[in-house]
Amino acid sequence: MLSTVSILLPVFGLIFAGFASRRFGVLGPASASELNRFVVWLALPALLFDTLAHATWHELYQPAFVATFGLACAVVFVVVLAVRLASGRPLADASIDGIAAAYPNTGYVGFPLAMIAFGPASLTPTTIATILVVCVLFAVAIVLIETGLQNERRVHRLALKVARSLARNPLLVAPALGAVVSGAHLTLPASAETFLKLLGGAASPCALVSLGLFLAERGGGAPVRRESWGLTGVKLVVQPLFTWWLAVRVFALPAQLAQIAVLLAALPTGTGPFMLAEYYRREAHITSRTILLSTVGSLVTLTVLLLHLHHGS
């Protein structure tokens, strides 16, 4: 319990710092959006580029784990997307809801928690999960959001408009360039490495502070709370259970690798969906509360899961 709290406590601290800064007037009414723009245009692209540029594809080749974790995220995303579309939600907003239910916080919470639970053996699968979530799932959501925001109905012109928008999106360009650097076996200068580490390290804390600023600025009614609870339940209960079924019953992963997959799937929602909602100027009440509720709820669910894994081992 204490290990889980000690990892999640800084998350709450940063959210509260943003919340208090806005409530006490330290930061102004535009601070949430401006800080989020810094994350989307500078910090997060640097982190994505750095992650992909240093990915060792030989080590990351674990097809069963990729299939387990990737398929679990994809199915949760698609099901929530379909349900939200059926309820009349626009494609762009439904895509953000879908990623909010399927986007575990592998970067900020996953690495330290998995290291405590499983030691150095968790580093490679956690890196794989982070790439799948931050690059692949993120990219799919962006494509759907861009498609939903276009007014063009003719297929070829719609595809051209979406392609142009994607080519200008730093959250897709940065990891693509990082993959090129990795594939070409290029070595970055030490100064460039330091630059990327400094800038990329600001992504998570700034996103959490931006979330706190947003929560202090705006409120939400009963429908927002109800929908956020639903997405939180999917994230903390449905996704890890489905991941367990895939890991054990379908792909028969080794016991420890299956446990790591389930633990990572059970993580609370990361800040990525909120950044997308703010970047595309979509309604972000549901997303912000899902992040907050899932982070609070994961204190209980992750503790129970870790106790079960420890008892099982």
The tens digit of pLDDT for each residue in 178-187 reads 888 888 888 8
Average pLDDT of the chain, as a whole number? 84
Q: Which residue has the higher pLDDT, 116 or 236?
A: 236
The arithmetic mean of pLDDT across residues 70-80, rounded, is 96
Q: State the pLDDT at residue 66.
A: 94
| 108-112, 163-167, 219-223: which is most confident | 108-112
The arithmetic mean of pLDDT across residues 117-130, rounded, is 84
Confidence of residue 284 (pLDDT cuts 50, 70, 90): confident
d(CA 99, CA 76): 9
Contact 70, 132 (CB under 8 A): yes
**Nearest Cα residue to 268 out of 72, 105, 144, 127:** 105
Contact 284, 278 (CB under 8 A): yes
Nearest 5°: the CA angle 193, 195, 201 is 95
Determine whether 90 is exposed, middle or buried from the number of CB atoms within 10 Å of its CB (0-12, 13-18, 19+): middle
The tens digit of pLDDT for each residue in 52-63 reads 788 777 767 889
The yes-or-no verdict on residue 223 having pLDDT over 70 is: no
Place of tokens 């012109």: 157
The arithmetic mean of pLDDT across residues 224-244, rounded, is 92
The arithmetic mean of pLDDT across residues 27-33, rounded, is 85
Q: Which residue has the higher pLDDT, 132 or 79?
A: 79
Q: State the pLDDT at residue 98.
A: 95
Confidence of residue 156 (pLDDT cuts 50, 70, 90): low
* pTM value > 0.85: no
Q: State the pLDDT at residue 202.
A: 87
The arithmetic mean of pLDDT across residues 214-235, rounded, is 77
Confidence of residue 250 (pLDDT cuts 50, 70, 90): very high
Q: Which residue has the higher pLDDT, 222 or 234?
A: 234
Confidence of residue 162 (pLDDT cuts 50, 70, 90): low
d(CA 207, CA 101): 18
Long-range CB contact pairs, 29-36, < 8 A, 24+: 29/217, 31/210, 31/213, 32/210, 32/211, 32/213, 32/214, 32/217, 32/278, 33/278, 35/206, 35/209, 35/210, 35/213, 36/207, 36/210, 36/274, 36/275, 36/278, 36/279
The yes-or-no verdict on residue 267 having pLDDT over 70 is: yes
Confidence of residue 310 (pLDDT cuts 50, 70, 90): low
Contact 289, 228 (CB under 8 A): yes
Place of tokens 């990082």: 178
pLDDT over 70 for what percent of the chain? Answer: 90
Q: State the pLDDT at residue 20.
A: 92
| 5-14, 56-65, 188-197, 281-290: which is most confident | 188-197
Confidence of residue 234 (pLDDT cuts 50, 70, 90): very high
**Nearest Cα residue to 263 out of 311, 303, 208:** 303
pLDDT over 90 for what percent of the chain? Answer: 31
Contact 261, 130 (CB under 8 A): no
Lowest mean pLDDT among 30-39, 61-70, 237-246: 30-39
CATH class label, 2-312: mainly alpha
Q: Please state the domain extents for the chain.
A: 2-312
The tens digit of pLDDT for each residue in 97-122 reads 999 999 998 877 787 788 878 888 88
Lowest mean pLDDT among 66-75, 109-118, 139-148: 109-118
